[in-house]
């Protein structure tokens, strides 16, 4: 891509607004910055766009968003007028320009003859998934960058089942986007005309209430919660995002009457001013909530990320301190409570399954197995879990009970087809209440699970590799490990029983000989099984400019697990640094 020529096209285009031109003229003497912004088009990845906001083809702005919306519209129109009439539901979060990007997407769709349902205010991502199904829409868009820093935004696409678009459909949409040659000149309908012609429809609280009612049905012991919900003291923070309205409404309706919201983080804010990063996986992001919980003598802290699809928690221990839990640990606690509750009520079935991603701890499988429940694996990304749920709904061969991933995403029920922080908030509060009534803390429950199933310990290391140079480094690292798969055991200091290359779709033994094929879609992922339930996995992030390294070890105790984990991390880190520096 001739980035200088593309830069000049934007500066001289009659369709580019003056503010954008001023921003571009401000970098006219900075060749490196021009290259970063125009070296490529922002790629439509596993489910959409995500990137830094700013002017340029490689940035999130109304023009790159409009180009993506037009590509989606072209794909929908190619499927026939029936799909266009069913329309696209659009939601957005509290980030900078989210409302503008959502409105531009809607008006681009309308200009292409595709109906658009636009929420009248910020909404959580899982509500978008629900609304697509509830309104029988053809597709959905949510404008969000999840828990990324404030300078990012994104554009995620959902299909008619309420799940993020599958890889195959994403490729079809990508081809249509590539066919939109001039991002600056994409037709945009006037808002008043779109409303007048019925192509633009505003969506309000009527969808919220239907969703809240559905979420209530997921309570496993409604009587216990209704009678005792006031005995659990909860501090909640939406981290300046979209979760406040629905999380508090759902908890109150269930019977949790003692829920306090962190007042400094209650209101939506595009800059997330009270946290370094609005990521509920990080204890630092829960700092204000934990301090409030200490003051209020609360039992539990619950946090949702800006688009309320992920959740983080901290719980009071016996000594009065607050312990945070990893995504895998929360998943283990929820899986155990859900399955034990179903078992005690006689609701279990031999068709029951839980679903987790390949980079999620094997502890969930061990717990499910103890209840006679099968565990299925998918690639990283909740869209693959949603795909399985849709298959089960059609065939009836399996009964989906619970799905989760290590990055703090959870789902129960099948009326939402994405991770759902609102549902997770209800279930974790119910779990905590159940154990509190027995005089047991969540930390004690987790330790008991370790005693029963083995000490599972995990970690994720993200290496940030930004820009065009970062993409090349990522490619080089993945290539190095593929070419040297027979040596991985020596590099890690542990025998590798099996290497799984999800890009080639093949399995290899420790000498590198082919063992057979993998029964999962193609993806740029390398997985090294180390024996027992321990493993290491490497993959480029599908949503951020990062290379992600996943580690999972199992041992008889915590110290042994920690020692093994640190040894693996140090060895792999040395290899990757050597490749980056080469």
Is the separation of the CB atoms in 141 and 88 below 8 Å?
A: yes
Burial class (CB in 10 A: 0-12, 13-18, 19+), 32: exposed
Angle, in degrees to the nearest 10, between helices 205-216 and 244-254: 40
Bridge partners of 261, per DSSP, are: 236
**CA 370, 371, 372: angle at the middle one, nearest 5?**
95
**CA 184, 50, 62: angle at the middle one, nearest 5?**
25
How far, CA to CA in Å, does 57 sit from each of 37, 62, 172, 188, 472? 6, 11, 20, 18, 19
How far, CA to CA in Å, does 430 sit from each of 111, 214, 227, 402, 448? 47, 16, 12, 15, 19
Rounded to an integer, what distance in angstroms lies between the CA atom of residue 503 and that of residue 528?
14
Question: Active-site residue among 98, 105, 129, 146?
Answer: 146
DSSP character at residue 284? G
Burial class (CB in 10 A: 0-12, 13-18, 19+), 395: exposed
Rounded to an integer, what distance in angstroms lies between the CA atom of residue 143 and that of residue 121?
12
DSSP string, 536-553: EEEEE-SSSSEEEEEEEE
Residue with tokens 């009612």: 213
Residue 146 among the catalytic residues: yes
Is the separation of the CB atoms in 143 and 60 below 8 Å?
A: no
Q: Which two tokens stand for residue 386?
A: 């949603």
Identify each DSSP E strand in 161-257 by its residue range: 200-203, 234-237
Identify each DSSP E strand in 176-316 by its residue range: 200-203, 234-237, 259-261, 300-304, 311-316
- Residues near 494 by Cβ (< 8 Å), separated by ≥ 6? 530, 531, 568
Cα-Cα-Cα-Cα dihedral sign, residues 410, 334, 558, 494: negative
Rounded to an integer, what distance in angstroms lies between the CA atom of residue 10 and that of residue 136?
38
Q: Which two tokens stand for residue 99?
A: 């409302």
**What 3-state DSSP class applies to 580?**
helix
Rounded to an integer, what distance in angstroms lies between the CA atom of residue 440 and that of residue 508?
45
- Residues near 426 by Cβ (< 8 Å), separated by ≥ 6? 215, 218, 219, 250, 251, 254
Is the separation of the CB atoms in 236 and 447 below 8 Å?
A: no
φ/ψ (deg, to 5) at 195: -65, -45
The residues that are catalytic are: 146
């Amino acid at each position: 891509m001739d980035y200088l020529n593309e830069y000049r096209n934007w500066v001289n285009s009659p369709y580019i607004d003056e503010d954008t031109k001023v921003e571009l003229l401000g970098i006219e003497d900075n060749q490196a910055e021009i290259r970063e912004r125009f070296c490529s088009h922002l790629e439509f990845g596993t489910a959409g766009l995500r990137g830094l906001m700013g002017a340029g083809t490689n940035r999130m702005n109304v023009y790159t968003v409009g180009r993506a919306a037009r590509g989606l519209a072209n794909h929908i129109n190619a499927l026939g007028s029936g799909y266009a009439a069913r329309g696209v539901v659009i939601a957005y979060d509290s980030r900078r320009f989210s409302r503008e990007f959502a409105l531009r997407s809607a008006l681009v769709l309308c200009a292409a003859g595709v109906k658009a349902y636009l929420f009248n205010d910020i909404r959580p991502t899982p509500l978008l998934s629900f609304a697509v199904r509830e309104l029988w829409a053809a597709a959905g868009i949510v404008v969000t960058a999840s828990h990324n820093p404030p300078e990012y935004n994104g554009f995620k696409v959902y299909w008619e089942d309420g799940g993020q678009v599958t890889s195959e459909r994403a490729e079809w949409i990508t081809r249509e986007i590539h066919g939109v040659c001039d991002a600056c000149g994409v037709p945009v309908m006037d808002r008043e005309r779109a409303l007048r012609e019925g192509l633009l429809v505003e969506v309000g609280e009527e969808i919220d209430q239907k969703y809240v009612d559905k979420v209530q049905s997921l309570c496993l012991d409604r009587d216990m919660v209704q009678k005792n919900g006031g005995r659990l003291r909860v501090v909640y923070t939406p981290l300046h995002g979209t979760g406040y309205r629905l999380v508090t409404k759902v908890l109150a309706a269930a019977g949790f009457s003692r829920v306090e919201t962190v007042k400094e983080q209650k209101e939506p804010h595009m800059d997330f001013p009270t946290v370094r990063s609005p990521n509920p996986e990080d204890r630092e992001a829960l700092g204000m909530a934990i301090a409030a919980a200490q003051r209020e003598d609360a039992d539990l802290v619950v946090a949702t990320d800006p688009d309320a699809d992920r959740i983080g928690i901290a719980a009071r221990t016996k000594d009065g301190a607050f312990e945070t839990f990893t995504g895998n640990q929360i998943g283990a606690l929820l899986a155990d409570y859900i399955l034990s509750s179903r078992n005690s009520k006689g609701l279990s079935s031999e068709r029951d399954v839980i679903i987790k991603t390949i980079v999620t701890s094997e502890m969930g499988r061990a717990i499910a197995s103890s209840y006679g429940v099968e565990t299925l694996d998918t690639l990283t990304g909740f869209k693959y879990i949603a795909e399985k749920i849709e298959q089960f709904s059609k065939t009836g061969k399996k009964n989906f009970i619970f799905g989760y991933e290590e990055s703090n995403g959870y789902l129960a029920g099948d009326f939402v087809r994405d991770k759902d922080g609102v549902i997770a908030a209800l279930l974790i509060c119910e779990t905590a209440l159940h154990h509190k009534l027995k005089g047991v803390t969540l930390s004690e429950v987790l330790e008991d699970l370790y005693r029963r199933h083995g000490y599972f310990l995990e970690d994720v290391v993200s290496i940030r590799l930004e820009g065009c140079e970062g993409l090349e480094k990522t490619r080089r690292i993945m290539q190095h490990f593929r070419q040297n798969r027979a040596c991985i055991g020596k590099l890690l200091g542990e025998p590798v029983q099996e290497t799984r290359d999800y890009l080639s779709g093949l399995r290899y033994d420790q000498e590198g000989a082919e063992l057979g094929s993998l029964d999962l879609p193609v993806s740029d992922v390398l997985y090294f099984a180390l024996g027992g339930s321990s493993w290491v996995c490497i993959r480029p992030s599908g949503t951020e400019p990062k290379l992600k390294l996943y580690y999972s070890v199992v041992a008889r105790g915590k110290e042994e697990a920690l020692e093994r984990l640190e040894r693996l991390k140090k060895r792999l880190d040395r290899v990757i640094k050597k490749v980056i520096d080469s």
